[in-house]
Structure 1
Amino acid sequence: MLRTQAQLFMAFLRIGLFGFGGGPSMIPLVHQEVVKRHAWMDDDAFADVLAIGNTLPGPIATKMAGYIGYRVGGMPGALNAVVAVIVPIIVAMIALLSLYARHGGQRWVQGMGQGVVPVVMVMMAKLTWDFFAKSRASLGWLVTLTMGAVAGGLIYWLDVHPGLVIGAILLAALLRPERQQTTGETNK
């Protein structure tokens, strides 16, 4: 139990320390720690946590830390993971904002923020590609591309909040009637 709590703390501490760019940039780090390094959940469960987390208000990193910590270590695990992910952020914000207040006009300070952007972009692209490949494998090319295009249109052109789009998809999946298998469809 104590070892699991220590692993939870260190995993989410790393996420908090290296999650430059805010919540969305932390998602690939959470995936790396939770799915690949510690195998606390698989890709499907991670995708579900991410989808549900995006429908709820508040920062995604703390929501994911809280749920994953709870799943792995109960209530102490939830508190442990949330504290581990937010403490580095709080310390970094105080330090960086103090630095920026003093030296914000200097080029080296401006370059710090600009230098992180391409790395975050690559991390997000990798996660997007992984989710696309997973969706394509389970739903097929046509459904994946259609759902992506419809979601993109709703979010970017009609300015619908992403949480509402995800919530509508989850609701549609819940309300969708189960298909009855005929004897010919089993063992396919």
Structure 2
Amino acid sequence: MKNQWNIFIAFFRVGMLGYGGGPASIPLIHKEVVDKYNWMSDEEFGDMLALGNTLPGPIATKLAGYIGYRVSGLLGMINAVLASVLPTIVLMIVFLTSLSAFKDFDWVKGMTAAVVPVVGVMLAVLTWQFFSKAIKGMGWLQTVIMSIIVFALLQLLNVHPGIIIGVLIVLALMMRDQASKKRKEGSRS
């Protein structure tokens, strides 16, 4: 039962503090799942995030569902998804009814504007963590080249991120298969 409580609290916090949508929730989910509860490693989180981005739907609920299932089966999945969605439902009802009355006040405009840089910094920290792990795995040169190529595909050619992630997953699987074939051939010799 304690495990279910931890799942609920972890994803409820993410739901409460994930102002700005799914991308803003990713660093919060990472903090809970990897740093606080140690339910998975950084590498596993990165793999799960990459796969989750290729699937349709909101990323925060996809991550909650998968992590909840991984930690505690079907009940954990339901618990995590409800915990991540419940704050949004409650806050939407409460805030939208009250904020519509106060939307023209300067303090409300300031509060909304102040959240943007906070979310930006959280995403930058997560990006740096992934970039550092890529450098450890692939080396500087390959990481920089791949980053430039992916940036060009995303920003200059407007290729959908899901397509890029899908292609990279297929390439990684092909490279893994080739490496395992080489190991098998090497062991036969």
Is 1:156 the equivalent of 2:149? no
Is 1:77 the equivalent of 2:71? no
- Which whole-Å deviations, capped at 9, do the CAs of 1:122-160 have from their partners, x for residues lacking one? 111110110010000000011111111111111111111
* Counterpart residue number, 2:7: 8
Using the alignment, how far apart are the partners of 1:70 and 1:55 within structure 2?
Answer: 19
Give the gaps of 5 or more residues in structure 2.
Answer: none
* Counterpart residue number, 1:68: 67
- Which whole-Å deviations, capped at 9, do the CAs of 1:49-83 have from their partners, x for residues lacking one? 10000001111000000000000000000000000
Using the alignment, how far apart are the partners of 1:47 and 1:80 within structure 2?
Answer: 22
1:93 is displaced (CA, Å) by 1.7
* Counterpart residue number, 1:125: 124
Using the alignment, how far apart are the partners of 1:175 and 1:95 within structure 2?
Answer: 50
- The AA in structure 2 aligned to 1:178 is Q
SS at match of 1:137: helix
Across the aligned residues of Structure 1 and Structure 2, the Cα RMSD in angstroms comes to 1.3
Using the alignment, how far apart are the partners of 2:94 and 2:162 within structure 1?
Answer: 32
The alignment's TM-score, normalised by the length of structure 1, stands at: 0.93
Output aligned runs, 1:155-174, within 5 Å: 155-174=154-173
- The AA in structure 1 aligned to 2:16 is L
SS at match of 1:178: helix
- Once the two structures are aligned, what percentage of the paired residues are identical? 49
More helix by share: 2
Using the alignment, how far apart are the partners of 2:116 and 2:62 within structure 1?
Answer: 24
